[in-house]
Chains A and B, each alone.
Chain A
Amino acid sequence: MKSVLEVKNLSASFGPHPQAASHPVLKGISLSVTAEQITAIIGPSGCGKSTFLRCINRMHEVVHGATVDGDVLLNGKSVYGKGVDPVLIRRRVGMVFQKPTPFPTMSIYHNVAVGLRLNGLKKKAVLDEQVEVSLRKVVLWDEVKDRLSQPGTSLSGGQQQRLCVARALAVNPEVLLLDEPTSALDPMSSGKIEELLRELKKSYTIVIVTHNMQQAARLSDMTGFFLMGELIEFDATSKIFTTPTDARTEDYITGRFG
């Protein structure tokens, strides 16, 4: 099985402040993400799940003073190598956030097209076609095809989140990162997103951070359990949720803390 992401001894901290530097958010994380699988990251709040995700597409460094140590290989090439442009890395790694973030001044159409244009698409006919392809991938096309010119913010929360997935897919990323994509949505919309991710898994590699252990159990092939910046256990989801090796994992998944 092909590994798309190879995270090697990754540590991260916030700020040049000595206290922050001596209390890293991530401590020596190593794991590998397999192609066309869903990898779930679970753990209590503040355990570094989101920071882990943001280190993969170099969004962590957007916060001034944030430091990263170790390496991330995306299809064999270092994301943190010399002369690597973080902007180009972010085009190869799609990201969806907790809150739906459609660009409020852009129409539904342009919210998707803005990603396509970044990849150099210019011709109107090609754009039209690719917007439709992207919206079909997230099963939103039939709901919005008659109102593509309306603002993205006019959609419901669940639809907005699917629009954001479509926007992220438009740049044709090698990996799709999702940071608690359903925690701001109602159960119906969450269900739709999960269904969508199951479908997308056939052609994309997905890493999802979730608060919801049931979601990780339902959805993912591999699960990593984070606790206070450390990767406690990383294994097949079925194993993590039935026979975890570490006592802390068992305590967490059985709801003894978290």
Chain B
Amino acid sequence: MGGVISKNINDEQSYAILGCIIKVNNNYLMRKILNISIFSISTICTIFTLSLLFFVFSYILYQGITALSWDFFTKLPAPIGEGGGGMAHAIIGTMKLLFVAVLIGFPVGLMGGIYLSEFGGRLFPAGRGRFVYSVRYAADLLNGIPSIVIGIFVYIVVVLPMKHFSTLAGGIALGIIVIPIVLKGTEEFLRLVPSTLREAGLALGMAKWKVILTIVVPTAFPGVATSMMLGIARVSGETAPLLFTAFGNRYFSSGWLSPTASLPAMIYTYSISPYSNWKQQAWAGGTVLLVLVLLTNALSRMLLRRKKLRTQ
């Protein structure tokens, strides 16, 4: 009797879940067909995603490699109509922009993440209190703001008062994008540090700041560094916020207060130009950028793997 009842319940459950999609019975053939179709759909989508990546990567490499030369890394753009030239100023410019972004984004994101994880709530490690929740939500929102809006914001706040575009302004815009990425990453990875380690440090007679700096942050460091790398990878390809802030430059930009060229902005300008050698150079710029992003990604993955080995 009991067996019959439970069988009925199972039937009802499966009807409730799948009944609205397909009329399901406890039918072997039907289950088998469903199983195979779900499996094949997910496989096809996976292959589609992978092939997209492969296609983008290989097409950019295919187009870009031929235009890459020593000149590309060392020379300024050639005047219109002349062949040759390079994007040395844009490569240097991107590095300078990233430097400013790192200078702003890393410390603010790191310290903010430490606050959220270690000081924000009532516990040590901090609980997820209401204030912490709202700061995390704010970081999520900041992360979701279209980068062009951040560009306009920096244009109003930095460029207009200074009355000219600058490397500094571009770096600030990128830094604002980096902050929430590093902040959230830092918080998450600090929370992974077992609270028993914090207690062990406190019980030894360490002050709280010392426990954080000598035990919690070093233990979580590979993860924190990974989120920093992800932040760099994310902004190194940003174009929109740079258009209003770093603007662009045909020459090397001197110092931090003058407009500067950057790889993404150069790619944008060159790719919509009518000249075929400029278009080739845009492909080359894309290749350099792609390799840069892949390298930072690979580096972050290596850091994470080291962490896994250590905790084992």
Contact = CB atoms under 8 A, between A and B. Distances in A.
Q: Do these two chains interact?
A: yes
Interface of A: 57, 59, 62-65, 87-92, 94-95, 97, 99, 101, 103-105, 114-115, 118, 151, 153, 164, 167-168, 171
Contacts of A153: 310-311
B310 to A, nearest CB: 6
22 contacts: A59-B199, A62-B124, A62-B199, A64-B123, A87-B205, A90-B203, A90-B204, A90-B205, A91-B204, A99-B196, A101-B196, A101-B199, A103-B200, A103-B214, A103-B215, A104-B197, A104-B219, A105-B221, A105-B310, A114-B214, A118-B206, A168-B203
Contacts of B122: 64-65
B218 A105 contact: yes
B197 A103 contact: yes
Nearest to B217: A105
A64 B124 CA distance: 8
Nearest to B220: A105
Interface of B is mostly: helix
B219 A105 contact: yes
Interface in B167-208: 194, 196-197, 199-207
A168 B204 contact: yes
A57 B204 CA distance: 10
B130 to A, nearest CB: 14
Contacts of A101: 194, 196-197, 199-200
Contacts of B204: 90-91, 94-95, 114-115, 118, 167-168, 171
A90 B200 contact: no
Interface string B283-312: 000000000000000000000000000110
Interface residues of B, number: 24
A65 B196 CA distance: 19
A183 to B, nearest CB: 14
Given A103-B197, A104-B197, A104-B311, A87 B203 contact: no
Contact of B200 (A57, A63, A87, A164): A164
B311 A87 contact: no
A90 B202 contact: yes
Contacts of A92: 205
A19 to B, nearest CB: 17
B215 to A, nearest CB: 5
A64 B310 CA distance: 32
Given A65-B122, A103-B215, A57 B196 contact: no
A64 B126 CA distance: 10
Contacts of A171: 204-205
Contact of A59 (B194, B202, B219): B202
B214 to A, nearest CB: 7
A174 to B, nearest CB: 12
A130 to B, nearest CB: 15
Contacts of A88: 205
B192 to A, nearest CB: 12
Most chain B CB within 10 A, of A59, A92, A101, A164, is at: A101
A243 B21 CA distance: 72
B22 to A, nearest CB: 50
A97 B196 contact: yes
